Every structure is written in C-alpha cells, then in structure tokens.
Structure 1
Amino acid sequence: MVGKKYLADQASTLLKFAKATTNADVAARLLDKAADLTAKIDEAPDASPQAPDVEQPQG
C-alpha cells in the first residue's frame, strides 16, 4: 500500500502536467485523476518510519 507522501507527490505532478498542457480534455482528465489521488490521501497509511518499542534493561 502506498503512503500519503507518495499520493501527494503524484497528485502534484498531475497538476503540473495539467497546467502545462494546451489540450483542455487532457487537462480535465489529469485534474480528475489528481482529485482522486487527493481523496485517497485520507485513507492511506502514514509511511513515515517509527522507532521500535525498546525496553530498558533492568538491573
């Protein structure tokens, strides 16, 4: 499963392509896909690394 950062980066790239194109149909489809990816961000896990649980030795 992809993380939030990946989805945000992909949506950002699609928005840049939509701004760069002169074809209105292509731009509309890119914007639609970017909106789909943005909507999935809330459902995606946060892929940032987490430290393992560490117990201090007793003694």
Structure 2
Amino acid sequence: MEIGYRSTTVADIVRRARTSRRTFYEHFAGKEECFVALLTDANDAMIRSITAAVDPARTG
C-alpha cells in the first residue's frame, strides 16, 4: 500500500531503494529534492517519448 508523499520518510525511500541514508544524502539534500529529481526525470522521459511520436522524420 502506498502512503503518499507527505507520510513518506527518507527511511521509507532508502528502504524501498535498497540503499543507505549516507548514499541518499550524497545525492539529495532531502525528500523534496529527491522528489523534484524524480519528477524532472519522468518529465524528460515523457517529452522524449512525445517528440519521438510526432517526429516527421521518423518512419514506421
């Protein structure tokens, strides 16, 4: 069962990611920065997918 952003702790994140708090904090200042990075990556992937779908040079 998902608990949502507000209730999710860094401990929940590192447990789910199977990493350590030390590793988490080497990459992110906190939960919010991690979430923003996730959203940025997801949006970039979506933009690439949409661009590929409407690229007139693409054949197929």
TM-score, normalising length from structure 1?
A: 0.37
Structure of higher RCO (CA pairs closer than 8 Å, 6+ residues apart): 1
